[in-house]
């Protein structure tokens, strides 16, 4: 099963245009597959150290899939995602506001991106990597995609720290949502080169809704998803705008052919505005986090965005 490409027709061939970006050779994706492999290895190692049969408190129920031995999962009431305990995730670098601010452990803004709350969480993210990230690494290269991935994850961690100050959160979802956001802004700023616009919009909406729905489960942080999405959305305007349809490199332009500007004016406008918003957003976000500001004081219902409490699991607001 291949990844979806809105620039391809029903037979998988790209539309023919004179735009030089069509002639560029695709990059060979290696960064995101490497990140996927690293995430899987880290999850296996984290489950090994979790050792539910030895460390689980009976008051929380029995370990799930005990036949897996020390790789068995925490009781479903504690972690319905088939994963480790909060204590194990904390030891591996999960995001905790108190340890970032008072413990001076700012590295948790990044280490939490490599951890997952359980198999369901990991599986959803791996699918997103292959259906979203790989194609864009092929188109834009590992440098731009890598910058979007890391900065979006960092932006998601900042927003999470403003709202999730009493819980432990993990996941690459914020960084992945950044890739989704970048795809959306790339689609808007390069609107003229796409053919199947309706299909693209429907696909974007479906992916966003699916990931946000998974985000209401414990240990998955929808605030990180939202922060990552808007960070990536802005970065897409800065890093992913391409030549407009019909533009031809000067050395390839036929004599007497009309000169078409490489980019449209609105692309430059979007880029400048996005850079300013990113600077202000990161600066204000970090200032508020280390000041100890709690976003929930200004939004009484926002905590429901990241965890839906049920009889099966607590949310720990």
Q: What is the DSSP string of 130-187?
A: IIIIHHHHHHHHHHHHHHHHHHHHHHHHHHHHHH-SSS-BB-SHHHHHHHHHHHHHHH
Q: What is the mean pLDDT of the chain?
A: 82
* pLDDT, mean of residues 13-22: 44
Structural domains of the chain sorted by starting position, each given as residue range(s) with its CATH number in brackets: 93-247+257-303 (1.20.1540.10)
Tens-digit pLDDT profile for residues 197-222: 677 778 777 877 877 777 676 656 78
* pLDDT, mean of residues 298-313: 70
Burial of 291 (0-12, 13-18, 19+ CB in 10 A): exposed
pLDDT value at residue 256: 67
Q: Count of CB atoms within 10 A of residue 205's CB? A: 11
Q: Count of CB atoms within 10 A of residue 235's CB? A: 26
208: its two tokens: 């966003």
b/e map of 12-51 (b: 16 or more CB within 10 Å)?
Answer: eeeeebbbbeeeeeebebebbeebbeebeebbeebbeebb
Binned at pLDDT 50, 70 and 90, residue 18 comes out as very low
Which among 244, 282, 273 has a CA at the least distance from the CA of 261?
244
Binned at pLDDT 50, 70 and 90, residue 107 comes out as very high
- Contact, 224 vs 159, CB < 8 A? yes
139: its two tokens: 């188109």
Tens-digit pLDDT profile for residues 217-274: 665 678 898 999 999 999 999 998 877 766 677 666 677 666 677 778 888 999 999 9
pLDDT value at residue 142: 92
Residue 19, pLDDT above cutoff 60: no
Cα Rg, the chain, nearest whole Å: 22
């Amino acid at each position: 099963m291949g990844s979806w490409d809105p620039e391809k027709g029903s037979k998988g061939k790209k539309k023919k245009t004179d735009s030089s970006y069509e002639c560029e050779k695709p990059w060979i994706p290696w960064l995101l597959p490497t990140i996927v492999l690293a995430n899987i290895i880290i999850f296996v190692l984290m489950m090994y150290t979790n050792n539910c049969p030895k460390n689980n408190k009976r008051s929380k129920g029995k370990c799930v899939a005990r036949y897996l031995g020390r790789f068995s999962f925490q009781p479903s009431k504690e972690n319905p995602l088939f994963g480790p305990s909060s204590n194990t995730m904390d030891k591996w670098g999960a995001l905790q506001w108190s340890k970032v601010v008072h413990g001076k452990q700012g590295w948790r803004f990044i280490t939490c991106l490599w951890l997952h709350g359980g198999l369901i969480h990991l599986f959803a993210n791996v699918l997103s990597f292959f259906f979203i990230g790989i194609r864009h690494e092929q188109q834009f290269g590992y440098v731009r995609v890598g910058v979007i991935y890391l900065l979006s994850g960092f932006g998601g961690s900042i927003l999470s720290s403003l709202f999730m100050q009493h819980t432990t959160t993990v996941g690459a979802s914020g960084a992945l949502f950044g890739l989704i956001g970048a795809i959306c802004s790339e689609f808007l700023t390069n609107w003229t080169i796409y053919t199947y616009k309706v299909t693209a919009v429907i696909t974007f909406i479906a992916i966003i809704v699916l990931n946000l729905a998974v985000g209401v489960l414990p240990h998955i942080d929808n605030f990180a998803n939202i922060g990552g999405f808007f960070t990536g959305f802005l970065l897409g305007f800065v890093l992913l705008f391409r030549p407009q349809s019909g533009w031809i490199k000067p050395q390839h332009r036929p004599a007497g052919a009309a000169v078409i500007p490489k980019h449209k004016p609105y692309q430059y406008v979007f880029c400048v505005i996005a850079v300013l918003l990113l600077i202000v957003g990161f600066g204000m976000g970090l200032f508020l986090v280390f000041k100890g500001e709690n976003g929930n004081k200004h939004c009484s219902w926002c905590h429901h965005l990241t965890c839906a409490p049920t009889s099966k699991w607590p949310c720990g607001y």
